[in-house]
């Protein structure tokens, strides 16, 4: 999807939840969600990642029925307006993955353990061109920050997760260039572990197609004293630019409008500048 010499893709974030850490409740109304979906594409998103279950630290699980109730109006709108292939669904539930795949979404973004190979085969049979992001999480949203893992453990576990997920996805029929791996910054890691994973971005990106999501996350507030939204966004952009230069193939972000000009500027420096 992102051949050598092109800048990384931008994945805008749209949460249709009442309790996400940054914008919970803001787009729970389907009319507001679809309006923001259009805005994210207008601002320069290549894909928009729609999440209906919060994965913030301490969040409680919801069932797949409620998750789909929140997702369906936005996915229906995307299908009607010919945007469905540029939609990513952020979910940990196979039932939701299957329904979204049948609708023709372009990406499944799975945080945590991925489904077993037989289940994965079902969704790739229905949607052969489906891209899949496997994102590492230590524990579950409810408990992941109770005992976060440190730098050495995080690096070891993320590399092992990337290897295992890649093998399972290819065994299930996912095309190699459709497999993306996310180290899961903030998902059950200490602040030191988050920094270690960011520093390892270049090495990880040489072997895997990496996705990085740091936008507005808690470690930015703690380490940089970025208390307000504008400060968190500015700090996020600096980190996002750095990991793009290090070789990340996709960046997940809330503020697409501010990131697109940075990527455009990187592309002007030299062909493939964002990949080094």
Q: What is the DSSP letter of 60?
A: P
Other C-beta atoms lying within 10 Å of the C-beta of residue 29: 12
Q: Are 141 and 192 in contact (CB under 8 A)?
A: no
Taking CA atoms, 66 is separated from 71, 226, 231, in Å, by 9, 34, 34
Taking CA atoms, 265 is separated from 37, 213, 224, in Å, by 25, 20, 25
Tokens of 115: 């489904």
Paired strand residues for 47: 11
Residues 6+ apart with CB under 8 A from 192: 150, 151
Residues 6+ apart with CB under 8 A from 43: 12, 256, 257, 260
Q: Are 207 and 159 in contact (CB under 8 A)?
A: no
| List 83, 217, 249, 260, catalytic entry | 217
- Quickly tell me which residue has 């259009």 as its tokens: 38
Please indicate whether residue 206 is annotated as part of the active site: no
- Quickly tell me which residue has 């990131």 as its tokens: 259
Please indicate whether residue 252 is annotated as part of the active site: yes
| List 56, 83, 157, 252, catalytic entry | 252
- Among 257, 194, 267, 182, residue whose Cα is nearest residue 224: 194
Could you give the CA distance from residue 12 to residue 41 in angstroms, rounded to a whole number? Answer: 8
Q: Catalytic site residues? A: 217, 252
């Amino acid at each position: 999807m992102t051949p050598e010499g092109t800048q990384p893709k931008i994945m805008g974030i749209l949460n249709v939840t009442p309790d996400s850490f940054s914008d919970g409740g803001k787009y729970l109304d389907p009319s507001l969600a679809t309006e923001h979906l259009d805005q994210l594409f207008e601002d320069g998103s290549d894909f928009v990642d729609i999440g209906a279950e919060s994965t913030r630290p301490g969040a409680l699980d919801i069932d797949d029925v409620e998750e789909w109730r929140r997702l369906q109006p936005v996915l229906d709108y995307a299908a009607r307006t010919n945007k469905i292939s540029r939609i990513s669904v952020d979910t940990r539930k196979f039932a939701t993955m299957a329904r979204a795949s049948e609708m023709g979404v372009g990406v499944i973004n799975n945080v945590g353990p991925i489904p077993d190979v037989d289940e994965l085969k079902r969704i790739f049979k229905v949607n052969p061109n489906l891209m899949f992001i496997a994102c590492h999480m230590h524990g579950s949203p409810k408990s992941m920050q109770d005992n976060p893992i440190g730098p050495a453990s995080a690096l070891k576990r993320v590399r092992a997760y990337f290897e295992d997920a890649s093998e399972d996805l290819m065994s299930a029929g996912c095309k190699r260039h459709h497999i993306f791996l996310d180290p899961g910054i903030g998902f059950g890691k200490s602040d030191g572990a988050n920094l270690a994973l960011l520093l390892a971005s270049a090495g990880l990106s040489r072997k895997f197609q990496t996705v990085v999501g740091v936008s507005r996350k808690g470690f930015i507030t703690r380490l940089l004293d970025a208390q307000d939204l504008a400060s968190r966004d500015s700090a996020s952009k600096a980190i996002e630019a750095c990991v793009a230069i290090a070789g990340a193939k996709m960046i997940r972000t809330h503020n697409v409008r501010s990131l697109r000009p940075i990527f455009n500027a990187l592309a002007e420096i030299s062909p493939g500048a964002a990949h080094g």
